Structure 1
Amino acid sequence: MPASEPTFQNREKEVQQICGNGEQVVLWNIYGEMGIGKSRLLTQVAHELESRSPRARVLQVDMAGLAQVDRPVRSERILGDLLEVAQMQDRVNGQAQDLAAVMGQVIAELSAEARTRPVVLMFDTTEVVQEDMDFWSWMEENLVGPLAAEGKVQQIFAGRVPVPWRRFEVRRVLRPYQLGPLEEGTALANLVKEVLVEENPRLREDATLGDAVALILEFSFGHPALSQELAAYVARRWPLPDIQSFRQELCHEVVKLFIDDSLFKGIAPPWTRILEWTSILDWFDVTILQRYLQHLEPSIAQEPDHFFISGLDRLRFLNTVVWREMRGDRLHGIIRDIVRHCLEVMEPERYKEGCLAAATTMDAVADEFPADNLEANKYRAEAERYRQRVQEEGAHDFSIAG
């Protein structure tokens, strides 16, 4: 593919800005919408830095696992992760000393190494602990601030973090960097074509290439990583057999595995099942969710209120439950859309059951208002939309658009 035709893999401009060809930025905060490519950019930056001379030492820590760690011990967990990626466990005993003292040893060793070659510390998926201000205060006091003041080790955070930071030495060197889409509307199609042709060169001149791209984007909803996995799978199977059966195969062999291994990673039952059911809902609060589950999962619906309140709060930060009233842009709806469409294709009867339960729930809420009340009419209209989905589901055309 010509270099002039950018895809989500071609972030050369951003890579060069972050790696720096002159002034070195000590602290980057890369942020942007879910699925835009922050993690991919970190990987590209790491590859670029490691290919330069002198070769940089890049330490990458993924914070995704902190979502399942109790707040009081997150500092200990992140220190353990850092010791592991830095291969310092044998030299530093994190269990035997004060955490701050251990972190001081880590900082001293990294800063000493940075005098001989570039050292870059990367933190990915920071948004999962975005609201934990105690954690970030500890990080700022014991890691980010001292490294920023020293000015030798570069730090890169991917995801939302509390900005501005409180300490002057951190704010002084911080460079927020918003990552946007490339060639909006065509970048994902270009990425999919690139993977398809790489996996199956015959598709380059195949008139059905556009059909393959359309099928993949239907199931990926623009999620770059899922788009790649779908493209690789479709390329190996093209030309396809019966389309309707292949759609179910695609969900079973690629989409469902991606949901379980990536989108729902670290989420324990019964929340995985709750997330599948809530993907059908356009919106919900705790009350709506409890009433909805009463029709589908009565045993779960009996959980106390705090189970749902705390759970929804945590999952919202993971960007797995979409509250469209609060976060209305399309990209934040990707995960919900992927899960819902997979459920609709793989388990159509269960999808219908969820739609009818949603309609019944909204009708019941409407009945609590006086007749012809505007709020009641709103809920009845929503109930009708869910019933309409059941009718539409049975009339879907499973052919690929040309």
Structure 2
Amino acid sequence: MAAARPDEDAVALAARVEAFVREQIIPYESDARRDSHGPLDSLVAEMRDKARAAGLLTPHIRADGSHLSQRATARVLQASGLSPLGPLALNTAAPDEGNMLLLGSVATAAQKAHFLAPMVAGNARSAFLMTEPAAEGGAGSDPSMLQTVAVQQGDEWVISGRKAFATGFAGAKIAIIMARTDDGSGGIAATMFLVDLPDPAIRIDRIPHTIDSSMPGGHAIVTIDGLRVPVANILGEPHAGFKYAQVRLSPARLSHCMRWLGSAMRAQEIASNYACRREAFGKKLVDHEGVGFMLAENLIDLKQAELMIDWCADVLDGGSLGTVESSMAKVAVSEALYRVADRCIQVMGGTGVSGDTVVEQIFREIRAFRIYDGPTEVHKWSLAKKIKRDHARTDRHSA
């Protein structure tokens, strides 16, 4: 059976998004309204006004609130990623894009009206608070290590703990907090809570400097001290946080792949243009085998990444959680795109490592992507465990 393909409307939408990013957003890459963590909210708001005027704000969510298929989303998010500013302008950026998907899948009607609607409208940024400080033994790639605790007191839950690398927290208006809760089984359970920000019970301890610089608000480390959340703000069912995390994480991993594929394609465009214009040792750089072969290898990696994304998107569109497939795609695509960005830097030499083009930033962002939503090694470890489980089921009678 032939794989599903995005419909003509989605292809046309992606073309509109690409034209908008190239014509309206790329010029903002030289805008000085940014700090060391990312663009300032004033810049984001201005770009979103332009996307809103063009009818392209939050393009992956239809007017009736339904979500495009993952295959169609791949085309749209790839186009938005042609500039590091594109996802912010179009409201397709992490963590908001993943949070919108989760709320759209799990939230009640009242929660959607209060929390989801402002996010879809591009009027509120959000944060997803699960990771905790490593130095304190908190949860990272292993969510079962959660130390942030929520205890029910009447019609409220009281949350206390510490969270780390809370992307976009500074300036966010909405947070999803994952905390450890007691379901009476004696095991490990977690619950997700929706919170309006700012709240005096949550304070920013610091915002560390990180290699990437495309996320407004940075990646904050915060302390939660006696935060009171009404029962009505539980996202989904109590004690089901780990299940809902899987609902969010597989598509979010793939969305990262979609956006950064667009960025890597842009870096390849710039590096190819440079190599086809720049001369050294009597000919164009592209005519030197060592340079031309790097760009050729990039074409191969880019196409393989695109196909991997489409394969995983089809799995998700088929109704599967796609946990294994998204791990495979995340590893393959992040590593391939890192190779692409690295080769682009190499082809461009001194220009490549300078801020004269966006290639240097794309390289840094894609390097961080190898960590986002689980490092490569964690996904490989998870896949190796699956191999062992499958072997145990299928080879029980072997010597």
Report if TM-score (shorter chain) is over 0.5: no
Of Structure 1 and Structure 2, which has the larger fraction of its residues in helix? 1
TM-score by length of structure 2 reads 0.29
TM-score by length of structure 1 reads 0.29
